[in-house]
Chains A and B, each alone.
Chain A
Amino acid sequence: MTTRKFIDIDFSRIESDRMRLNVGPQHPSTHGVLRLEVELDGEVVTDVIPHIGYLHRCFEKIAENVTYPQVIPYVDRMDYVSSMNNELPYVMAVEKLMGIKVPDKVEYIRVIMSELNRIANHQIAIATFGLDAGAFTPFLYLFRDREYILWIFEKASGARLLFNYFWIGGLANDVYPTFKEDVLNIVKQVRKTNQEIERLLIYNKIFIDRTANVGILPADVAINYACSGPVLRGSGVQFDLRKNEPYSIYDRFDFEIPVGKGEVGTVGDSWDRNIVRMREIEQSCRIIEQAVEQMPNEGDVQQAIPKKVRPPKGEIYFRCENPKGELGFYIISDGKDKPYRVKARAPSFVNLSVLPEISRGYLFADLIVILGSIDIVLGEVDR
């Protein structure tokens, strides 16, 4: 391990009582119902054991007992702050299994919606990260912008959070006429707020001191733990499924993969993971602008929807770049209208497993910051 310990002391040589502190499941900064069993020496964290399962809803078992289209509302509820991105890999997996080619317009709308939801998700991540560090005001500025994005979703799909908008082979309904203008206005607003947040929070010296050099995750450890998403890219690994393994129509857009460079501290610290999210918002804005420009106005979004979703026998693993990392669905079909097995590879769950590794030796206040920088959603961890 190369993580910097807060105090360079061999703890085994000092006789002191450790304190076991139970953080959660009702704690303001566990981002849901996560329970952490923390062992403290004074205020220095010597061990962390995450206990999960408080939000377990048997997603995978339920999916075996409902038909393929009925799984989509359940998929929404996994990572409930980025539902569009959750639907995408599931829907595309089933489409690939059935060999459906969706129309171009559907692909463009899917990309725009996913990227908008990526922005919304990253805004929540940055907002709650600031909240964990004690800054309350940026939280509400970001939530205000997220609200504008949710209005677009509501106008398009009818729901603010759990959409059931992507269907196997198409979309639930076409977007409304002023969709393009609305999206471009949102992009403008998001960029404006991003600049403000950068000045108010990200480059604030107190915030830098709180987050830089805290929770350093070296690249090799990140790869060993199979981390993905901003957690992996924060450690300087340039890996993004949208670029490395382009699905949907991501190969048609020009964008970059931001990685952590250790601008104010060490590569892979909490600040880097956060700044990757900031930069990804900017890249998502670029993708959205290109997609809106290229998107065809005409076209039926429902023409490829099959009458009966009954994939042939077989199995498939399909993965997409979720805002939190690589979300994959492994689906086994036995030729019936209900899946034989649906397994979700949830990025939050995998990323959470690295928490004990990177939080040992830091202060208790740092543990909260590190947890915030990993950006988990307990709905996805427990499923």
Chain B
Amino acid sequence: MIDYFKSVWAWFHTILIGMKITFTHLFSKKVTIQYPNERYPIPHNAKNRLQLYPDLCNGCMQCARVCPVQCIDVETIRVVPTDPDKPVMGDGTQRKLWVSVYDIDFAKCCFCGLCTTVCPTEAIKHTTDFEYSSYTREGLIYHFSAMSSEQVEQKKKLFEEWSAKEKAAKAGKVAEPSSVEKGEN
């Protein structure tokens, strides 16, 4: 019988305690904010959407290799010595590869940040932009290459012409060691 009254009292008592707590919260400062108008600061190192700076990218493809989900798609064309543009990179060094395709599929990206750490030229960076949703999957594929399709065609043609010439030259002087091959790295 005592237990019965005790438990009835406990019901009543603990409910009052709970009501007191919620009542004090009724007038406390609110923690939510009006999101698109005001927002909490995002730290500068936040790992959100990736951004490529094409003039810094040397086309080494390390990012594409290290990506755990294979969301980065890179294609390069060799810069031939006869190129009229004489391209330089952002840091002033001679460009060795044209980056004709650099696509990132953000539907696949897992924001692990591995690509940014392996990049030797710091061409790929995480930004603090997280509002890039899209209605289509294609809308989430970002094309970062700075080259237009005409340019790509032109550079491809240049490379083909050059490599055909090289081949011919090679075939001409088999005995001699070939001219200095410009490797990828």
Interface string of B7-45 (1 = CB under 8 A from A): 100110111011001100100000100000000101101
Q: B17–A200 contact, CB under 8 A? A: yes
Please name 18 pairs of A and B residues whose Cβ atoms are closer than 8 Å in the assembled complex, sorted by A: A71-B68, A73-B69, A73-B110, A141-B25, A154-B42, A158-B46, A159-B111, A164-B112, A176-B43, A196-B21, A200-B17, A200-B22, A203-B14, A204-B15, A204-B17, A205-B11, A206-B14, A206-B15
Q: What CA separation (Å) do A203 and B45 show in the bound complex?
A: 42
Q: B46–A73 contact, CB under 8 A? A: no
CB distance from A87 to the nearest CB of B (A): 11
A365 close to chain B: CB less than 8 A? no
Q: B68–A158 contact, CB under 8 A? A: no
A residues 60-118 near B (Cβ < 8 Å) are 66, 69-74, 76-77
Q: B7–A154 contact, CB under 8 A? A: no
- Kindly report which residue of chain A lies nearest to residue B9, judged by CB atoms: A205
- Kindly report which residue of chain A lies nearest to residue B10, judged by CB atoms: A205
B114 close to chain A: CB less than 8 A? yes
Q: What CA separation (Å) do A205 and B68 show in the bound complex?
A: 50
Known pairs A154-B43, A155-B43, A158-B46; A72 contacts B11 (CB<8 A): no
Q: A154–B31 contact, CB under 8 A? A: no
B126 close to chain A: CB less than 8 A? yes
B87 close to chain A: CB less than 8 A? no
- Report, nearest first, the 8 A-B pairs whose CB atoms are least far apart: A158-B47, A73-B112, A70-B68, A164-B112, A205-B10, A205-B14, A158-B45, A155-B43
Number of A positions contacting B (CB below 8 A): 32
Set B14, B25, B68, B126: member contacting A204, Cβ < 8 A:
B14
Q: What CA separation (Å) do A196 and B22 show in the bound complex?
A: 10
Interface string of B126-166 (1 = CB under 8 A from A): 10000000000000000000000000000000000000000
Q: A66–B68 contact, CB under 8 A? A: yes
A192 close to chain B: CB less than 8 A? no
A294 close to chain B: CB less than 8 A? no
Set B40, B110, B114, B126: member contacting A162, Cβ < 8 A:
B110
- Kindly report which residue of chain A lies nearest to residue B113, judged by CB atoms: A164
Known pairs A144-B31, A158-B126, A206-B11; A199 contacts B46 (CB<8 A): no
B77 close to chain A: CB less than 8 A? no
Q: What CA separation (Å) do A29 and B138 show in the bound complex?
A: 35
Interface string of B97-114 (1 = CB under 8 A from A): 000000000000011111
A residues 163-208 near B (Cβ < 8 Å) are 164, 172-173, 176, 196, 199-201, 203-206
Set A151, A158, A176, A205: member contacting B113, Cβ < 8 A:
A158
Q: What CA separation (Å) do A134 and B18 show in the bound complex?
A: 14
Q: What CA separation (Å) do A147 and B40 show in the bound complex?
A: 12
Could you say which residues of chain B place their CB within 8 Å of the CB of A147? 31
Set A70, A77, A144, A159: member contacting B46, Cβ < 8 A:
A159
Interface string of B45-56 (1 = CB under 8 A from A): 111000000000
Could you say which residues of chain B place their CB within 8 Å of the CB of A164? 112-114
Q: A172–B14 contact, CB under 8 A? A: no
- Size class of B's contact patch? 20 to 34
CB distance from A226 to the nearest CB of B (A): 31
Could you say which residues of chain A place their CB within 8 Å of the CB of B110? 73, 77, 162
B123 close to chain A: CB less than 8 A? no
Could you say which residues of chain B place their CB within 8 Å of the CB of A155? 43, 45
Q: B46–A154 contact, CB under 8 A? A: yes
Interface string of B67-85 (1 = CB under 8 A from A): 0110000000000000000
CB distance from B47 to the nearest CB of A (A): 4
B66 close to chain A: CB less than 8 A? yes
A137 close to chain B: CB less than 8 A? yes
Task: Kindly name the residue among B17, B25, B47, B117 whose own CB sees the greatest number of chain A CB atoms within 10 A.
Answer: B47
CB distance from A163 to the nearest CB of B (A): 9
Q: What CA separation (Å) do A159 and B110 show in the bound complex?
A: 11
Q: What CA separation (Å) do A135 and B45 show in the bound complex?
A: 37
Q: What CA separation (Å) do A245 and B45 show in the bound complex?
A: 36
Set A69, A141, A176: member contacting B114, Cβ < 8 A:
A69
Q: B114–A200 contact, CB under 8 A? A: no
Could you say which residues of chain B place their CB within 8 Å of the CB of A199? 17-18, 21
Could you say which residues of chain B place their CB within 8 Å of the CB of A159? 46-47, 111, 113
- Kindly report which residue of chain B lies nearest to residue A66, judged by CB atoms: B68
Q: B11–A74 contact, CB under 8 A? A: no
Could you say which residues of chain A place their CB within 8 Å of the CB of B40? 151
CB distance from A129 to the nearest CB of B (A): 16
Q: What CA separation (Å) do A312 and B60 show in the bound complex?
A: 29
Q: What CA separation (Å) do A69 and B18 show in the bound complex?
A: 48
Q: B43–A158 contact, CB under 8 A? A: yes
Q: B21–A162 contact, CB under 8 A? A: no
CB distance from A35 to the nearest CB of B (A): 27
- Kindly report which residue of chain B lies nearest to residue A147, judged by CB atoms: B31
CB distance from B105 to the nearest CB of A (A): 16
Could you say which residues of chain B place their CB within 8 Å of the CB of A203? 14
